[in-house]
């Protein structure tokens, strides 16, 4: 691939070049950096291309004058990056947006992310890969030479090969966007793509903001969990000892509590009718009848906490900011849900003992907002079931109402256990729960579980019809879509009943969970615009929850902005069912 490029190193040429490109509809956009983390490295190059002419802007001469964010000569570059037009085409645009956000102080305006577009088009195909080289090869039939990617971008003078490599990565964006746009339109994915692209800069800014953690608080919590684990382990050893065939030299029966085989043998010897697997969800129904099983589940829960949420979390605290800057992937699942790593903030336990360690800095508050039962409201909207919808419109306790229907009592007679059961059933329906699975997690006999589901769906006939139709379409069309048109394709062997059943479950769940993801991403884009000019800054998200940090004096107004953005986003997809957002203002994530 031949590319015409110009190396820009002085203010006059930069201004002239940016003016020449400002009228374009689309510009290829890329950066070259010395590290992967913008807090640790240098932003060396910014590349912009209209496909014919490519600018390679070397920021090293400008950096010699001071902080790039305050150098007035870079204002033309900031303006073109921040503008909604030209749309900046980038591959994994979040990466580049973070670098220019941190080093130039510019929030990237309109974007077209070729990586996200490729992921949307792949629609959950796990065999597809989405690096720039692989996407270019798949859609353009060209091979990109990426050998210079790991070269020294901090060199005093960059080589001609480095400059040309940087220019090509920006120039290739223009024809690549054209191919991807055609395919997005062909597959009916344009609306979903817009949601994804509008979310890039908010997520980049959230990762830069980071989430503050009180390290002393976290370590104190770990000490408590370790002490709790030792106590539970001693109790569990005592309960299992009678099931150990041979005692130790000192007469105390002891087993490795982390060995599934040893634990399973001990349970069998105690007469516990354990299933083939000792996974938590299969053991759960036995817990109420066998205290040793309940204690085992408790031990495992604590052990998992120490493994997943131990001292390792503090390794991710940035020494400069005192914050955790996790990595959020927008399309972390085929449904469109986010995934998170380094560390996974989405899996921090809900208990206040953990969440209280994530705090607002002095003089600030955390505003924590989450959608109330958003997936059930989406399901009500999709099904059009009047009784289901009316339960939300009336403002009554939805789970208590469902329990009354299932157990044949009045809402005032519903017991706490019945409400809890109905809550699990309501959310289980979203995931396509069947009688066998319901029996496993509740302890009911299969026939009882079947009768409960029958009464449930007899109450909500429109819901039953929608779920059956969604399952049928998933098998017939081998795909499912969200309200935005986001698609997941399914591969299965029609002769394998288990694969067909899995496809049916996914066909019910994907449109609901995926629409929930669409709503959250739409809310983030609206929120990002509304928070400009305020002290509010996005610091975390967890599926249907958004956490914003703001100055204490602006906490109330920020809560209003956040609530309005979330309701407005949901209204794009859910029009007949009321939307509720629970919001709290607190010093920490535990909402204390």
Confirm if 200 and 113 have CB atoms less than 8 A apart: yes
Strands 111-113 and 87-90: parallel
Mean pLDDT on 184-200: 98
Confirm if 195 and 120 have CB atoms less than 8 A apart: no
Mean pLDDT on 347-351: 87
Partners of 549 in beta bridges: 366, 537
Q: Which of 135-144, 394-403, 431-440, 558-567 has the lowest mean pLDDT?
A: 431-440
9-62 pLDDT tens trace: 999 999 999 999 999 999 999 999 999 999 999 999 999 999 999 999 999 999
Q: Which two tokens stand for residue 174?
A: 């223009």
Alpha helices in 323-460 (DSSP H): 352-355, 374-383, 386-393, 398-407, 416-430, 435-442, 446-459
pLDDT at residue 249, rounded to an integer: 47
CATH-assigned architecture of domain 325-374+517-586 = 2-Layer Sandwich (3.30)
Q: Which residue is it, tokens 């399901």?
A: 379
278 pLDDT tier (thresholds 50, 70, 90)? low
Averaged pLDDT score across all residues of the chain: 92
Q: Which two tokens stand for residue 371?
A: 């959608």
Q: How far apart are CA 283 and CA 443, in angstroms?
A: 10
Q: Which two tokens stand for residue 203?
A: 């997520």
CATH superfamily, domain 376-510, is 5' to 3' exonuclease, C-terminal subdomain (1.10.150.20)
Burial class (CB in 10 A: 0-12, 13-18, 19+), 564: middle
Q: Which residue is it, tokens 């971008």?
A: 153
- Residue 138 has a CB neighbour count (10 Å cut-off) of 16
Confirm if 53 and 67 have CB atoms less than 8 A apart: no
Residue ranges of the domains in the chain? 5-187, 215-311, 325-374+517-586, 376-510
CATH number of the domain at 5-187, out of 3.30.420.10, 3.40.50.2000, 2.70.98.10, 3.40.718.10?
Answer: 3.30.420.10
Confirm if 76 and 18 have CB atoms less than 8 A apart: yes
Q: How far apart are CA 563 and CA 308, in angstroms?
A: 32
Q: How far apart are CA 111 and CA 480, in angstroms?
A: 27
281-298 pLDDT tens trace: 667 778 878 889 889 999
446-505 pLDDT tens trace: 788 888 888 888 888 999 999 999 999 999 999 999 999 999 999 999 999 999 999 999
Q: Which residue has the higher pLDDT, 450 or 535?
A: 535
The SS3 call for residue 158 is coil
136-189 pLDDT tens trace: 999 999 998 888 888 899 999 999 999 999 999 999 999 999 999 999 999 999
Handedness of CA 230, 231, 236, 239 (dihedral sign): positive
Name the E strands within 153-270. Answer: 211-212
- Residue 359 has a CB neighbour count (10 Å cut-off) of 21
pTM: 0.91
Q: Which two tokens stand for residue 7?
A: 């190396």
Confirm if 470 and 485 have CB atoms less than 8 A apart: no
- Residue 320 has a CB neighbour count (10 Å cut-off) of 9
Q: Which two tokens stand for residue 110?
A: 């309109």
Confirm if 179 and 118 have CB atoms less than 8 A apart: no
CATH-assigned architecture of domain 215-311 = Up-down Bundle (1.20)
Partners of 54 in beta bridges: 5, 49
């Amino acid at each position: 691939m031949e590319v015409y490029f110009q190396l820009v190193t002085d203010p006059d040429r930069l201004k002239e070049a940016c003016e020449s490109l400002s009228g374009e509809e689309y510009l290829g956009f890329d950066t070259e950096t010395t590290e992967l983390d913008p807090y640790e490295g240098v932003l060396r190059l910014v590349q912009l291309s209209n496909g014919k002419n490519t600018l390679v802007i070397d920021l090293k001469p400008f950096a010699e004058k001071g902080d790039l964010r305050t150098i007035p000569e870079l204002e033309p570059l900031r303006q073109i990056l921040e503008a909604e037009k030209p749309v900046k085409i980038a591959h994994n645009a979040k990466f580049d947006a973070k670098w220019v956000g941190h080093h130039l102080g510019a929030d990237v305006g309109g974007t077209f992310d070729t990586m996200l577009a490729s992921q949307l088009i792949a629609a959950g195909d796990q065999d597809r890969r989405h690096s720039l080289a692989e996407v270019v090869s798949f859609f353009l039939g060209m091979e990109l030479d990426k050998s210079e990617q790991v070269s020294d971008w901090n060199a005093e003078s960059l080589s001609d090969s480095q400059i040309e490599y940087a220019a090509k990565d920006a120039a290739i964006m223009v024809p690549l966007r054209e191919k991807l746009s055609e395919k997005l339109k062909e597959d009916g994915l344009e609306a979903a793509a817009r949601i994804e692209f509008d979310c890039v800069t908010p997520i980049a800014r959230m990762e830069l903001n980071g989430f503050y953690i009180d390290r002393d608080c976290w370590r104190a919590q770990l000490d408590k969990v370790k002490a709790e684990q030792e106590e539970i382990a001693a109790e569990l050893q005592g309960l299992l000892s009678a099931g150990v065939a041979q005692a130790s030299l000192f007469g105390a029966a002891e087993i490795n509590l982390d060995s599934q085989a040893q634990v399973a043998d001990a349970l069998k010897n105690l007469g516990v009718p354990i299933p083939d697997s000792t996974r938590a969800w299969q053991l759960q129904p036995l817990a109420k009848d066998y205290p040793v099983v309940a204690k085992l589940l408790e031990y495992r829960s604590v052990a998992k906490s120490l493994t997943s949420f131990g001292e390792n979390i503090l390794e991710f605290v940035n020494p400069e900011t005192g914050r955790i800057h996790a990595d959020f992937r927008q399309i972390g699942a085929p449904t469109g849900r986010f995934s998170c790593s380094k560390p996974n903030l989405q899996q921090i336990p809900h208990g206040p003992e953990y969440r209280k360690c994530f705090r607002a800095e002095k003089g600030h508050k955390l505003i924590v907002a989450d959608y109330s039962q958003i997936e059930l409201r989406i399901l009500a909207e999709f099904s059009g079931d009047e009784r289901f919808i009316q339960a939300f419109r009336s403002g009554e306790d939805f789970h208590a109402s469902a329990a009354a229907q299932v157990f044949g009592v009045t809402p005032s007679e519903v017991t706490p256990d019945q409400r809890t059961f109905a809550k699990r059933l309501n959310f289980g329906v979203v995931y396509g729960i069947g009688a066998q699975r319901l029996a496993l997690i509740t302890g009911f006999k299969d026939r009882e579980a079947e009768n409960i589901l029958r009464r449930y769906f007899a109450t909500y006939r429109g819901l039953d019809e929608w779920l059956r139709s969604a399952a049928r379409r998933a098998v017939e069309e081998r795909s499912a879509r969200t309200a935005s048109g986001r698609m997941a394709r399914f591969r299965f062997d029609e002769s394998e009943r288990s694969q067909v059943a899995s496809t049916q479950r996914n066909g019910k769940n994907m449109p609901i969970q995926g629409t929930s993801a669409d709503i959250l991403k739409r809310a983030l884009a609206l929120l990002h615009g509304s928070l400009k000019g305020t002290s509010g800054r996005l610091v975390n998200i967890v599926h249907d929850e958004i956490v914003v940090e703001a100055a204490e004096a602006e906490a109330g107004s920020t809560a209003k902005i956040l609530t309005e953005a979330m309701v407005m986003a949901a209204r794009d997809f859910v029009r007949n069912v009321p939307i509720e957002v629970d919001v709290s203002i607190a010093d920490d994530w535990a909402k204390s």
